[in-house]
Structure formats: C-alpha cells, structure tokens
Amino acid sequence: MPKTLIAGNWKMNGSLAANERLWLELAAGLAAGGTGAAQAALCVPAVYLEQMQALMAQSGVALGAQDVSAQASGAYTGEVSAAMLQDFGVQYVIVGHSERRQYHGETDAVVAAKARAALDAGIVPIVCVGETLEQREAGETASVVGGQLAAVLAVLGADAARAVVAYEPVWAIGTGRTASPEQAQEVHASLRAQLAEAGAQDVPLLYGGSMNAANAASLLAQPDVNGGLIGGASLKAADFLKIIASAQ
Ligand code: PGA
C-alpha cells in the first residue's frame, strides 16, 4: 500500500535559527518513533531550501517548495524555476495554494502551467483545489473544485498520474474550522472519480485546512484521504509528529 503523505506547509514562517530548532526536534521524534506508514515532507520558503536540504539529508523526509514559476528561465524578476528547485533536491512543490490564487491572482491556467513545469523537472506538484465559504453555501463545492482540477488535468494529460492533489477548503485554512471527515470524504470521492476518468485514479489525495494532532486520525481514516497538507500544526514539532503517527 502506498504511504500516507504528510506534508508540512511552513508558509512564510521561519528563520535560520527557528528552522534548525524545529528540525532538531522533529528529527529526534522521528529517530524515536520513525515515520511508520507515512512519507513526511516539508515545504519550506525558497530561501531556506539550501539550509533544509543540508539538515534533512539522509533523513527520509522529503524536501518541498511552496511555489514554482511556470517559465523555464529568463526575465521574470523574483521567480524561481523548477530547475532551480531541482538543484536543491526538491521533490514536491505546492501549486495553486488558495493564498496564491487569492493574493497573487493565480488562475487555473497559471496553476496548470506551474504543475506542468514541475513535472517536466521531475518534481511532484501538490495541486491545491478548494472552495470558499460562499461557494460552499451556494452549493457550488463540487463544480468549483471539479473545475479547478479539470483545468490541470487538461494540461497534464497522462502525466497527471504523477501528481498529488490537495483538497483545501478555503474556509478551513488557518481558521481552526476543519472540514468534518464526512465533508472531506465527500469531496475526495468526487475528485477520485474525476481522476479515474482521466486515467489517474491512484493520485494521492491530501486534505488540508486546520488539520491538527487531534483531528488527523479521523480525517486520514477516510477511504479517499491519502494524506494531509498541514500549515499551522507543521510549525510545532510535537503536533506534526503526532499527525505523522496518525497515518495508518
Ligand atoms: P492550516 O493551513 O493547516 O494552517 O489551516 C493549511 C494550508 O494552507 O496548507
């Protein structure tokens, strides 16, 4: 059985000193308890990739980034290419996080192009989809997340089978308000059906949005929840270790 992917999303947090402290605590916990049924990953700010690559070497925890340019190189001030991420041993990159869609105007087309650029460099894109509270209340959840996924599937074609998809309801991100296991499973089942139609039924489906040490086990127990994308709780070693241990 494939491992449960537990990916931390540090967002714009950390410092050289804080990262090292957090890592040493995580490493000590992992040395004691192992990762069991989980594949752990940390998606860190780009400037800390070099530091974390060195600290995490040989640990079995995968290194991830939080964004990637859709372009290969050139006059794109401030952007980081997939090849640059590859230089630092990056294995996963988050694309289409709702914070980037919201604050940076990333469209479905941009998200799809970023996923394509990542895969072309041998990096697994963690493609985020999710509805706002307004959209959920209007009964639009399935059409919104379905549309976001469809845009990516159309561009990736058969390569979609090498991606990871994260369902992150916008109303649950950083709010302490988590989707219930049943709500998560309902959306995951529809994403699974859509992936199956595209020949990518085995794509791991992560849940994200206020996943924490207390609720991880019940979310991860759902048949179509294959892991988690964890923001706030990934910044606390004890909590992240508990989520890793919740993977069965
Ligand atoms: P959260 O963030 O766990 O802090 O809600 C999840 C995410 O945005 O990836």
Among 103, 80, 187, which residue's Cα sits nearest to residue 143?
A: 187
In the residue annotation, 188 being an active-site residue is answered as: no
pLDDT above 90 (res 59): yes
Ligand 1 atom having least distance to the Cα of 174: 5
Q: Report residue 50's pLDDT band, with 50, 70 and 90 as the boundaries.
A: very high
- Spell out the domains of the chain, with CATH numbers in brackets: 5-246 (3.20.20.70)
Cβ of 166 below 6 Å from ligand 1: no
Ligand 1 atom having least distance to the Cα of 208: 6
Residue 214's H or E segment, with its range, is none
Among residues of the chain, what percentage have pLDDT more than 70? 100
pLDDT above 70 (res 155): yes
Catalytic one among 97, 99, 106, 131? 97
Task: Report the alpha-carbon distance of residue 96 to residue 125 in Å, rounded.
Answer: 10
pLDDT above 80 (res 45): yes
Q: What is the mean pLDDT of residues 39-50?
A: 98
Task: State residue 4's pLDDT score.
Answer: 97
**Residue type at position 9:** N
Cβ of 232 below 6 Å from ligand 1: yes
**In this predicted model, what pLDDT tens digit does every residue of 64-122 receive, in sequence order?**
999 999 999 999 999 999 999 999 999 999 999 999 999 999 999 999 999 999 999 99
Task: State residue 149's pLDDT score.
Answer: 98
**What is the DSSP pairing of strand 164-167 with strand 205-208?**
parallel
58-62, 139-143, 176-180: least confidently modelled range: 176-180
Q: Report residue 2's pLDDT band, with 50, 70 and 90 as the boundaries.
A: confident
Task: Report the alpha-carbon distance of residue 225 to residue 227 in Å, rounded.
Answer: 6
Task: State residue 248's pLDDT score.
Answer: 78
**Residue type at position 123:** I
Residue nearest to atom 6 of ligand 1 (CA): 231
Place of tokens 């192992």: 34
In the residue annotation, 97 being an active-site residue is answered as: yes
Q: Report residue 33's pLDDT band, with 50, 70 and 90 as the boundaries.
A: confident
Ligand 1 atom having least distance to the Cα of 128: 9
Using DSSP, state whether 14 is helix, strand or coil.
coil
Task: State residue 34's pLDDT score.
Answer: 80
Contact predicate 206/228, CB 8 Å: yes
Catalytic one among 99, 106, 131, 168? 168
Tell me how far CA of residue 73 lies from CA of 81, 84, 179, in angstroms: 7, 9, 39
pLDDT above 70 (res 1): no
